[in-house]
Structures are given as structure tokens and as C-alpha cells.
Amino acid sequence: MSRSERIRRFYDELYKKYGPQGWWPGDSPLECIVGAILTQSTSWKNVEKAISNLKGSGLLTAEMLGLVTAEELAALVRPSGYYNQKALKIKNFISFLGADYGGSLERMFTEDKSVLREKLLSIKGIGPETADSILLYAGGMPVFVVDAYTWRVLSRHGIVPAETTYAEMQEVFTDSLDEDAGLFNEYHALIVRLGKEHCKKSNPVCEGCPLEFDPHFV
């Protein structure tokens, strides 16, 4: 099987086993963006607590996030960890949104995908995974999101070397799949599920794993 065939077969097997994952859990594009920033280095459960605090305080609008101080915001997002840095990152994003798109996410998402990606990456505290999560899950743009789970699966199956880059892993998928936001959304969510249930960091459970059929090295 070629690399592309393996990548497509992985998707089929994962989808067959787990079904649709219903990502991203957020009521609005802004909530997805804030969630994408807050989920850096923490679990989604902690993000939910922080988002619930923001909602309870009526702060989950671009206007209110622009008005609140970084200190007040940090206190509310505390459950997500690294709260001072994350509050600043949210403020940085909101400043960018105001300066470049008059505070309108609708306007922001009419931007060319590659141009917007570069702009997001230029915001302090927004790296490739967060930028791509914003583009895909908040903007519905066809951008493949790569994370530590993706690296684990691809490297254990010898599809990428252990020393690889975000861009190389992303290319593995974009070279093999149709440019389809729905497919990219589902595939990333399925990989996260796989990483949590089978392809764990220290003790991968290959037996019964949906990708057990493919040669792997653990």
C-alpha cells in the first residue's frame, strides 16, 4: 500500500470503529477560538470550566473580551492552567481582530486561507496547531490540524521519522486526502480519540486497535 492509501485506510478504519466525533464542542466561532487557545497544554475538561466562567460572566463576545483587563480575564480562565499567558493570548487575538477586521469574525473568515493563517501565526502565543484549529473548527476552512497524537501514530507506523515537523506531518494528510473541511475535522478528532484510547504515550494498546492491521513499531 502507498502512503496515501494507508492514510485513507486509517481514516476508514477509525471511522468504522468510532463513528462521527461531533467536533468542535463550542456554541460559536468565538468560543471555538477561545477554546483553541485555552486547550494548549491542558485537558478539555479544564477548558470547559474556564469557558463556563467566561460565559457566566457574560464575557464571551469580542467586544467584552476587548474591554476586560488581562488580570480579570486570567482569574476567569485559571482552571485551564498557564492562565496569565492564556489571558494575554486571548487579548492579543482580540486586538488583532479589532485592528485588522473591525472586531468581526465574519470579516476575518472571508480572508484568503493562507493569508489568514500567516496573520494568525504572527500573533504572539498562536502557534501552528492553534492557528489551524481556528481556521478549521471556527472558520470551517479546509486546513488539517496536527498535534502530539498525530505525531505518535505517524511515527509509530513509520510514516514520518521521530524527528519531523508540523508542516511535514500536515503534508502527509493534505497530499493523501481531498481538500474537505468536514473530512479534516473528522479525521483529526478520530486521531485524538485513537490517541486517548489506544495509542497512549507510554503504553500503547495495539491489541484491538483499529490500526493494528498496519505495520507499527512500539
Q: Does 190 bind ligand SF4 (CB under 6 A)?
A: no
Cβ-based nearer residue to ligand SF4, 150 or 185: 150
**For the residues of 159-177, what is the DSSP string, one character each?**
SS-SS--HHHHHHHHHTTS
Cβ-based nearer residue to ligand SF4, 24 or 151: 151
List the one residue out of 85, 176, 179, 79 whose CA is nearest residue 126. Answer: 85
Q: Does 198 bind ligand SF4 (CB under 6 A)?
A: yes
Distance of alpha carbon 13 from alpha carbon 211, whole angstroms: 7
Cβ-based nearer residue to ligand SF4, 58 or 208: 208
Q: Does 148 bind ligand SF4 (CB under 6 A)?
A: no
Q: Does 218 bind ligand SF4 (CB under 6 A)?
A: yes
Q: Does 212 bind ligand SF4 (CB under 6 A)?
A: yes
* Nearest distance in Å: CB 201, ligand SF4: 11
C-alpha cell at 201: 504515550
Q: Does 153 bind ligand SF4 (CB under 6 A)?
A: yes
Q: Are 113 and 143 in contact (CB under 8 A)?
A: yes
Cβ-based nearer residue to ligand SF4, 90 or 211: 211
Q: How many residues bind ligand SF4 (CB under 6 A)?
A: 14
CA 171 to chain centre: 16
Q: Does 156 bind ligand SF4 (CB under 6 A)?
A: yes
Could you tell me the sign of the dihedral formed by the alpha carbons of 162, 165, 166, 172, in that order? negative
Q: Are 145 and 132 in contact (CB under 8 A)?
A: yes
Distance between start and end Cα atoms, the chain: 21
Give the interface with ligand SF4 as residue ranges (CB under 6 A): 153, 156-157, 194, 198-199, 204-206, 209, 211-212, 216, 218
